[in-house]
Chains A and B, each alone.
Chain A
Amino acid sequence: MTRPILIAALALAPAMANAQELVTRNRVGLPDAPNTLTFRLTAYDLYSSDPATSEAFEEMFRDFIEARPDWKIETQLQTGNIGQEQARLLQQTRAGRGPDCAMIDSSQLATFRDAGVLQPMNAVFSDEDVADLFPYVREAVTDEAGNVLAWWWFTDLRVLYRDTSVVPEAPQTWEDTREAALAAVEAGKEGILFNGGRWEGTAFDWLGNFWAQGGRLVDDEGGPVFAEGENRAKFLEAVAYYQDLVESGAAPRRVTSITDYDAFNAAAAAGTAAMFVGGNWQYGQMRNTLDPEAFENWEVSELPGPTADQRATGTGGWSIAALSDDPEKAELCGEIGKEIYAGPGNAFQGLLPTSEATYDEYDAYDGPEFDLFAEALQNGVARPGAAIYPEISNQIQILLGNVLSGTSTPEEALDAAASAVQAAYDRQ
């Protein structure tokens, strides 16, 4: 009985080995395929540390490349240090040493576009595809001539998470939030947590409070205006909101040391926090890590505004773009975005698609939380498409750290930030 099994296994072995070799740690496709596309991707999908995710993407990439036997994709992995990686990618591309196709963080798209390194992928995306994108996404990925310079394939947003056993009703305003958080502190919890340390998440999560009042970071030419005129007052109001949360004890002082979203998951798992400002993707993470009973207590709502009618939330996500001027390679890059990431890849990971049609196409988006996310996205604001944004973000991180730790007053900190950003802008 064992002998026929062994013979069958030996006969199948080469075929199985061949199938496995189609996706390796640095290649998708057969090694001797005549055409090569170099692709710099992130570690969140094909090479994810989560086996289920990497297996699902391996299958998608395998199907993709089997339909294109003349091609192989040489993969290059980006590290998690987004700012550094994206700066390096831009530098290499400018020097002619960049990959043919790459994942570009949505906040960096404008920098790449202004540098003139993005190649059109018009052959892949129809006018209908483009028209179906959310407006802020469409604006970011197309140029004035209507060329599709990148495909922003998923977006994300910031929401308020709350433990309904402590905070039953979703706070609608900043004042509601403060009161709910103080009541939670009375009940022995940390009232509200948010990113306040030195990293991009701090600036981005807080910016919703500035944008909710109609504040603008840059003008139409990309020059910094956040500390001028009406923007200045709105900026200071938003800083005062966070400062008041900390000084009143509604938020613990430790927020100035929080530099990742995992800290909120940990607090939710430990049952020590009543509310936190987090990303939509954390909903799925919490569902997978918390006890079902504990998870039932957690709900999401839109970020509170200065008034219930003034709302905004920062929207991020990743895009895929062709950096090679070879039209065939640009087309293949677009096809990877369209056939893998924007559709089944998004649905598998539960990421928020950037086009309305995808929500209807996949059952993965049937959960009630996606209705809330879709609603909140109506108030979504993307980071400005200006090369000065990274420095504005850096200065906001410094400003919030100084104000929340009591080192500076909001006015002093804003003046210092405005001066530093202007100096950097003058040098660009």
Chain B
Amino acid sequence: MTTTVERAPNDGHPAPWLAPAVLVLAVFYAVPVLDVARLAFSDATLIEPATGFSTQALRAILGNPALPQVLGTTVLFVAVNVLALQVAGLAIALLIVRGERRELPGMAAFRTLVLAAWVVPGIANGLIWQILFDEAPYGTLNSLLGYAGLGPVAWLSDPQMALVSAVIANLWQGTAFSMIVFYAARRGIDPTLYEVADLDGAGPVRTFRSITLPLMRRAIAVNTVLVSVQTLNTFDSILALTGGGPGRATEVLSLFTFNTVFYNLDLAGGSVLALMLFALGMALTLLIGWLNRGEARA
């Protein structure tokens, strides 16, 4: 009779345990990315397959006079959204936690209401806001402003305002995600700390600055990465809301990629732009990770 010693899963080599995950990632993520990289250095169009290696698409895209404007719009759209999503998400999360602590009725309904916006598909979100921003004499928001003696606002026809409108639409939909992350993080903070602060006579601002914010920094860092990448890839709601117009006023990089492939039929050019999106997303992630390296170790 022999005795076998049972080994814990993490005693041996990790490869067998990691293999399924690596395989799934390789098949569903790495292979498509590599294929996009292959297409980016080819002459492929939607009509003709690639015939060989070429840097023509790369040169054409980098030399496209519209690219600086599109990148500028993208940076502005992402930066404003990321900032606003954090502030709005945090504010709503803290409001809900405070309401729950005081056992105010309707907090669950409020949470559900915020979450409802999150499950709306991007295209539907764009269409909903297109109806609200309608500048016709009977348009919803302008009519409401009219009752208050304000407006009308050129929500979608003015190039600057159209970008603001696109931000508002994205903010309405994306806030729920930030709210969930911050709500979970806030609920994870030991309530004793707040009781002690209360006993010490700390006001709400001091409590927020000295307890809530420091203990939520990791959640803020994670959320920044997630919403940055999410916003960078946003195009469906803008497509439905403005189509990228007027002119190119709301054409962000992801929408420019879509237009390059489906209007120009330029698969290689679209692949170059897709790689650019991938690189930007990765760079943002690494940058935010690096900026918050101290917090991650905390």
Measuring CB to CB, which residues of chain A are less than 8 angstroms from any residue of chain B? 83-84, 87, 90-91, 94, 111, 114-115, 190, 196-199, 252-257, 259, 263, 266-267, 270, 272, 387, 390-391, 393-394, 397-399, 401-402, 404-405, 407-408, 416, 419-420, 423-424, 427-428
Contact = CB atoms under 8 A, between A and B. Distances in A.
A259 B158 CA distance: 15
Contacts of A256: 156-157, 245-246
Interface of B: 45-47, 49, 56-57, 60, 64-66, 130, 133-138, 154-159, 162, 242-249, 258-259, 261-266, 268-269
Contacts of A398: 245, 247-248
Nearest to A423: B60
Contacts of B156: 197, 254, 256-257
Given A257-B242, A263-B136, A266-B136, A420 B65 contact: yes
A111 B46 CA distance: 11
Given A87-B46, A90-B46, A390 B265 contact: yes
A405 B247 contact: yes
B64 A423 contact: yes
A381 to B, nearest CB: 21
Contact of A401 (B133, B249, B266): B249
A254 B243 contact: no
Nearest to A114: B47
B241 to A, nearest CB: 9
Given A256-B157, A407-B159, A270 B136 contact: yes
A419 B158 contact: no
A111 B64 contact: no
Nearest to A254: B135
Contacts of B266: 424, 427-428
Contact of A427 (B49, B137, B264): B264
B47 A404 contact: no
B70 to A, nearest CB: 11
13 contacts: A90-B47, A111-B47, A114-B47, A254-B157, A257-B156, A257-B242, A257-B246, A259-B130, A272-B136, A405-B159, A420-B65, A423-B64, A427-B269
B243 A402 contact: no
A86 to B, nearest CB: 9
Contacts of B47: 90, 94, 111, 114-115, 387, 428
Which secondary structure dominates chain B's binding surface?
A: loop
B243 A197 contact: yes
B66 A407 contact: no
B246 A419 contact: no
Contacts of B157: 253-257, 405
B205 to A, nearest CB: 42
A390 B49 contact: no
A407 B158 CA distance: 10
A253 B155 CA distance: 11
A196 B157 CA distance: 9
A387 B261 CA distance: 13
Contacts of B130: 259
Contacts of A266: 136, 138
Contact of A272 (B64, B137, B249, B263): B137
B65 A419 contact: yes
B247 A407 contact: yes
Given A254-B135, A405-B159, A259 B243 contact: yes
Contact of A198 (B45, B65, B244): B244
Contacts of B49: 94
Contacts of B159: 405, 407
A424 B65 contact: no
A405 B65 contact: no
Choose among A94, A390, A394, A398 the residue with the greatest number of B CB atoms under 10 Å from its CB. Answer: A398
The 7 lowest CB-CB distance pairs between A and B, nearest first, are A198-B245, A198-B243, A257-B156, A401-B246, A402-B247, A401-B247, A254-B135
B154 A253 contact: yes
A397 B245 contact: yes
Nearest to A398: B247
A391 B264 contact: yes
Interface centre among B133, B138, B247, B268, by most A CB within 10 Å? Answer: B247
A253 B245 CA distance: 13
A180 B248 CA distance: 32
A196 B268 CA distance: 30
Most buried by B among A87, A115, A255, A270: A87
Contacts of A199: 243
Contacts of A255: 157
A393 B157 CA distance: 19
Contact of A390 (B134, B244, B248, B264): B264
B34 to A, nearest CB: 19
A405 B242 contact: no
